[in-house]
Amino acid sequence: MATVTIHEAKTHLSRLLRRASGGEEIIIARGKEPVAKLVPLVPTKPRLLGQDRGKVVISDDFDAPLPEDLLRTFEE
């Protein structure tokens, strides 16, 4: 894992981005103190709406008031 200073990162940002997109992780440091990590962005698959249809059940009383004894436990 390569380490560069903030000045180097500002000067060579395009080059560092190219390296990161190739899979390399790069530490950006202020002096000798690491402050950030430049990593490749992992593309995500778009989520499909409705893929869990029929797997989740929400009861009819989902938003009904809680019993008093349970409410008291939250207040303690």
| pTM for this predicted structure | 0.57
- Nearest CA-CA partner of 25 in 11, 7, 42: 42
State both tokens at 50: 């409705």
End-to-end C-alpha distance for the chain, whole angstroms: 49
pLDDT tens-digit readout, 55-68 = 988 999 999 999 99
What is the phi/psi pair of residue 34, to 5°?
Answer: -65, 135
> What is the set of domains in the chain, with CATH numbers?
2-38 (3.40.1620)
pLDDT tens-digit readout, 13-54 = 999 999 999 999 999 999 999 999 999 998 888 988 998 889
